[in-house]
Structure 1
Amino acid sequence: MADLNRSTVLVTGAGGRTGQIVYRKLKEKTDQYVARGLVRTDESKEKIGGADDVFVGDIRNADSIGPAIQGIDTLIILTSAVPRMKPGFDISKGGRPEFYYEDGAYPEQVDWIGQKNQIDAAKAAEVKQIVLVGSMGGTNPNHPLNSLGNGNILIWKRKAEQYLADSGIPYTIIRAGGLQDKDGGVRELLVGKDDELLQTDTKTITRADVAEVCIQALQFEEAKFKAFDLASKPEGTGTPTKDFKAMFSQITARF
């Protein structure tokens, strides 16, 4: 039976480094949210606690994600293709490492088809909002990330973002800067558009801060139908962001 006072939120990619934080934060807010996670393997499920609210499914296969999405109110998409370094690279000899994607796990399959499947399933389930975490750099087709493993990852991510923006579902698209594994909540967050922040010295963000913005986006109407770049000032400069309504209110870009 649906919980009338709490919102049921599914985090996909819940086994990833940012996804784990979002899932954990939702689980801590039991008065507001019923958390669910979607992971790709049983190993990932065990890694984040193995609870019954973690579903195992493959986003590339629309049928396999149906049970996780059934009955949710909102969806937070944190799935992403991951390039792997080719073995044999020796940093002491200089040169650059080479990267590859595993067969079937290229950005086209994960970041485009996989995200499209999630958006379609969420639309069929009549979700009220989708939060999608992407990456800065998508305005530049020649961005170095696109050349990793010849995956064109930012191009496919951008295509999925456009698909979401055109879906009619209330959305929040967060294009994160370079991700850091540091404490959240201690920096002033910066929002921008069209990769303008990449021209500055402030183009990184902690995974914990990205996770917090994902959850805050569920709480404010001002976050809906918005797309923005997200980074932060260095710790110790500026004032740590606490007023997320004000932050979302200053964003005007819909894509």
Structure 2
Amino acid sequence: MEKILVAGATGTTGRHIINLLKNDQYFEPVAMIRKESQRSDFETEGIKTVMGDLTEDISNVTEGIDKVIFAAGSGGKAVDAVDRKGAMGLTDAAKKHKIKKFVMLSSLGADNPQDDGELKEYLQAKRDADEYLANSGITYAIVRPGALNNETPTGKIFLEKSLSSRDGEIPRGDVAQVLVRSLHDDVANREVFEILNGEHIIADALTKVQVENA
């Protein structure tokens, strides 16, 4: 099984990701935590952990890891340190240890941060992190969802390389499923795509970024 480092494992979306991975036949989650007190939350479920703070040196957190999901977020409190530099630091660590794939949770609007005054700083940080990953040489998938909510996952989304409308939301559980599916070698290699809640079963929607003969 491939070991998957989950940055942001203690967050709401991160917990969805961990729960999917721990029951997956192909992947084994490794939760990245900032505090020793968080370790037992995962290890009681048999989930491995690694200490790492995105605002500090994380150059060794990817040692022994096969693939990465970045689902961390500052919540607006340390945008540059976490959403920008933290993501870049994890990209550097992934490159150092020759990670096979890096799946980035980004955001709708990251392609044009100037369009959103209220979220401009956040979206610019996401854009910078996305571009840094795309230029790193690592195989990547960059997933840009609309506003996240805590509604019950539907298992259905709307996916385009670039959505014509940026209005809409999507349950965190559905985003988590897209991120986990994007870990596979035959899905979304060096792809950027956008998702909202929709009517297409996730597996079917992802055929738009399916890799032939992977």
Q: Given the alignment of the two structures, is residue 129 of structure 1 paired with residue 101 of structure 2, yes or no?
A: yes
Among 150, 160, 168, the residue aligned to 1:192: 160
Cα offset, 1:195, TM superposition? 5.1
SS at match of 1:76: strand
Q: CA RMSD in A?
A: 2.2
The Cα of 1:214 is off from its aligned counterpart by 0.9
Q: Does 1:40 align with 2:5?
A: no
**216, 232, 240: which one pairs with 2:197?**
232
CA displacement 1:163-193 (0-9 Å, x = unmatched): 0000110000001111111222443x11234
Shift of the 241–177 alpha-carbon distance from structure 1 to 2, 3 Å rule, reads same
Equivalences for residues 76-115 of structure 1 within 5 A:
76-83=69-76, 101=77, 106-115=78-87
1:43/1:136 CA distance change after superposition, 3 Å: farther
Distance in 1 between residues matched to 2:83 and 2:146, nearest whole Å: 17
Displacement, 1:239?
A: 4.5
Q: 2:150 aligns with which of 181, 204, 226?
A: 181
Query: TM-score, normalised to structure 2's length?
Result: 0.88
User: How many angstroms apart in 2 are the aligned matches of 1:142 and 1:195?
Assistant: 15
Distance 1:142 1:44, change over 3 A: farther
User: Number of paired residues?
Assistant: 209
Distance, in Å, in 2 between the alignment partners of 1:142 and 1:240 is 30
Which whole-Å CA distance do the structure 1 matches of 2:174 and 2:118 have between them? 22
Q: Does 1:116 align with 2:81?
A: no
Contact in 2 for aligned 1:116/1:160 (Cα 8 Å): yes
Amino acid at match of 1:143: D
Q: 1:206 to 1:109 in 2, by over 3 A?
A: same
Structure 1 gaps of 5+ residues are 1-5, 84-100, 251-255
Q: Please say which structure displays the higher CA radius of gyration.
A: 1
Q: Percent identity?
A: 25
In structure 2, what is the equivalent of residue 58 of structure 1?
53
SS of residue in 1 equivalent to 2:87: helix
**Given the two structures, how large is their TM-score scaled by the length of structure 1?**
0.75
